[in-house]
Amino acid sequence: MLTLTCPCCGITAEETEFAPGGEAHLKRFGPDSSDADFEGYLFARKNPKGVHFERWRHAYGCGKWFLAARCTATLEVFGTYAAQTHKPPADLIKKIKAKRPEWEPQA
């Protein structure tokens, strides 16, 4: 089971207190965009084995959205950070690289 820390309220809890929200750092397209862009947004997602950045909501706590970096193979959580961030914090990238030297951030 995952253990996440909400960066908004500071509470650390098991994943059952949170709701997953999919991949983080996506360019989101709505129904007013082209069919190809909207189809790509809905169906063409990355599904990496390894480090993945995700959106989470503290459903049974403060209710706020945040982002988390975790390994999809081992379920190790590297850290969480505010949802308003457009890219992962440098200290989190450094932490991931220290534990997984082979990992390279996706463009």
CATH code, 85: 3.30.2270.10
Q: Using CA atoms, how far apart are residues 46 and 49, in angstroms rounded to an integer?
A: 10
Q: Has residue 51 got a pLDDT over 90?
A: yes
Q: Using CA atoms, how far apart are residues 50 and 67, in angstroms rounded to an integer?
A: 16
Question: Does some domain include residue 47?
Answer: yes
Q: Using CA atoms, how far apart are residues 105 and 96, in angstroms rounded to an integer?
A: 10
The predicted model gives 73-101 an average pLDDT of 93
Q: How many distinct structural domains can be found in the chain?
A: 1
Q: Are 85 and 69 contacting, i.e. CB atoms less than 8 angstroms apart?
A: no
Question: Does some domain include residue 106?
Answer: no
HSE-CB at 43 with a 13 A cutoff on CA atoms is 6
Percent of the chain having pLDDT more than 90? 61
Q: Which residue in this structure is represented by tokens 């997984």?
A: 100
Stated pTM of the model: 0.86
Question: Does some domain include residue 107?
Answer: no
Percent of the chain having pLDDT more than 70? 98
